[in-house]
Chains A and B, each alone.
Chain A
Amino acid sequence: MEASTSADDFIPAALAAYGVEADEIELAVMRAAHEMFWPPILELLALDTSAVASERDHDLSQAPPSR
């Protein structure tokens, strides 16, 4: 099955699953956000990151430990 970027289906269904209400303006904002974020999210999900070793207890104030 091909991935869909259709906000019209996804957003109302997902909000309904959570029991979250939204008015027309909020839905329009969410549709715009979805159009912007969803395609790159799908690209991100397609990345093969299986070889990425987790940085345990990463300390963002420091460089990562040498590999």
Chain B
Amino acid sequence: MSEPLDLTLRDQAAAIAAGDVDASELLEGALARIEQRNPAINAVVETFPERSREMLAEAPAGPLHGVPVVIKDEWPLPWRAQRFGAADMLASPTPGESGPYRALRDAGAVIVGVGNMHELGAGSTGNVSVYGPAGNPWNPERCPGGSSSGPAAAAAARLVAGAVGADGVGSIRYPAAYCGLTGLKPTFGRSAMDGHHMAGISTTIVSGPLCADADDCRLLGSVLYGEELRAGEARGLRIGVLTGEVSEDVAPAVREACEAAIEQLRAETGGEVREIGLPELPAATLATVLIANSESLGAVTPERLNQLDPELSPLGRGLLKYRLLLPAVATVKAYQVRTIARQTLASVFEDVDVIACPTVPAVAPPLEAPLVELPSGTLTADAANVRGGALANLTGIPAVSVPVGSSEGLPIGLQLQAAWGRDELLLDAAEALERANGRRWVEALPPLAAGERAEA
């Protein structure tokens, strides 16, 4: 048998259930691997071995019995309040049983550590955090993506086989693309959200899985959803390819890989491809940012803004204060744009099953200067990434990022989006794509993980 830590999430669970792998040894191995590999990438910001051992000792015979996982610093645990990657998150978090924690516990999983995240969830790169930047396992000097930077880097470095992230404006899909993982943003409301400091307020954030492949996302996703995400077969898939800057103002290598993957998906499923224009997309992108920012303003008072923790980054302090200046009329318009976008998508999904576009327009940029070179010029990664990531959060539809290529030694991701409630179809499509490319990209390992395996 392979090193148990290198097995997929489902194979770890099956091996433990069959008695082929000892769950205690797997946990201790995961803790040792975190100690060994994590210093290079700062993906896991806290471990709590005794708590993890207690979880294992009390773990029920669920679908993830004994399997170590990492959870983002966005969710409270009974022994630890989330910090949201920040020295000051305006809210006053307390330890507790969040929905994802309960789902994992009840499935028998063992939380082995907390994953780093971009400060306040306010970036797509992961290079700003109270814990220091996380690094990309494919090149630790590159961004892992954000805001679920640590969960993605942890899963890509094979510290664990699965991790729980959160996605408010692309925050699972960006790091999935940068780190070469499969990352699922569920339909709004389908996955566990209780205990999040924005639960009941946010209309964009969902919890979701980050794993090597679609089948593992299906397993971890089923736990987070509290219902089985049944496997099917994507046949005759009607693929709509987004036109406009989201697909065209893209680094050539990314465009080429995504176009090739779309053709592979079409051929594998015996489907068809047609172009889809969404002229509302730029307005929808801005609307998402406005809504997400306005929803977090409830805890803001001028007095509180004058008392921000000085350890909060200058970027975080400036952006928190700038939110106060966003005009209410723009937010009202943003909600109208949401209505238009939802109606448009409902019509689009009468004609296509999935909408495809690059998840992000360029591979992971340097941590020091997260800028990307696109045909239109140099942009911040955040400004470029949000073009493709926002629509699903604005409208509630599910989306998945699937690894489909590589450039400069860094992964490339294709995003597929489907109609409300068709999360399972996205995983079926992702698996069809894996079959079409011989699982080349989901089995590719970053140097941080592959080097050690080669030496073993």
Contacts and interface: CB of A to CB of B under 8 A. Distances in A.
A25 interface: yes
A53 B330 CA distance: 17
Interface residues of B, number: 46
A52 B322 CA distance: 29
Contact residues on A (Cβ < 8 Å of other chain), bracket: 35 or more
A58 B317 contact: no
A26 B189 contact: no
B330 A61 contact: no
Interface of B is mostly: helix
A30 B315 CA distance: 9
A60 B321 CA distance: 29
Interface in A17-65: 18-22, 25-30, 33-34, 36-37, 40-41, 43-45, 47, 49, 52-55, 58-64
A11 to B, nearest CB: 7
B432 interface: no
Given A44-B337, A54-B339, A21 B330 contact: no
Nearest to B340: A52
Contacts of A19: 302-303, 306
A40 B333 contact: no
23 contacts: A14-B325, A18-B305, A18-B324, A19-B303, A20-B302, A20-B306, A22-B317, A25-B318, A29-B317, A30-B321, A30-B325, A43-B283, A44-B287, A47-B333, A52-B336, A53-B339, A58-B342, A60-B189, A60-B396, A61-B189, A63-B420, A64-B339, A64-B343
Given A22-B321, A59-B189, A64-B339, 6 more contacts: A25-B317, A44-B334, A49-B340, A55-B338, A63-B345, A64-B346
Interface of B: 187-190, 203, 282-283, 286-287, 289-290, 302-303, 305-306, 314-315, 317-319, 321-322, 324-327, 329-330, 333-334, 336-340, 342-343, 345-346, 349, 383, 395-396, 419-421
